[in-house]
Amino acid sequence: MDGGGRADRLRWVTMGFFTADREKHRRLAGAWVVPEPRRCVQCGVCSFNCPMSIDVRRHVWRREPVGDSGCLTCGECVQRCPRGLLRFEPIAAAPAARAPQAPARGTGRGR
C-alpha cells in the first residue's frame, strides 16, 4: 500500500456522511443558549422540552445565558420556543453570567 492508504480508506468508508455532524459538534461545543428576555412570556415550553431538565425559563427570567454544566447544547429549547427568543451564541461573544450578589450589610433600620 502507498503512504496515504489509511486516509484514503477512511475517506471512502465515511464518504463525508459525518462531516455535517462534526461541524455541528464543533460549533455547539463552544456555544450556549442565550435568551431575549424582553419578549419572553414565561410559558415554560423551553424548560418542559429540555432533556436534561434544566430550568431554561429561570435563566431567561434572570437575563443570563444558560451556563448550566449539564446543558448538552442539543437545541431542543431553541427549536421549541414558540416566540423564537432563544439562540445559540459563541461563549466568548455572549454576555457574562451575573454572579450572585450577597445582600448588603448594615441596611437594617434602627441598628
Reported as a single tens digit per residue, the pLDDT across 43-59 is: 999 999 999 999 999 99
Domains and CATH numbers, the chain: 26-90 (3.30.70.20)
Contact status, residue 41 vs residue 65, Cβ threshold 8 Å? no
Q: Residue 4 corresponds to which cell in the numbers above?
A: 496515504
Share above pLDDT 70 across residues of the chain, in percent, rounded to a whole number: 57
Q: Can you tell me the distance from the alpha carbon of 15 to that of 80, in angstroms, rounded to the nearest whole number? A: 32
pTM over 0.85: no
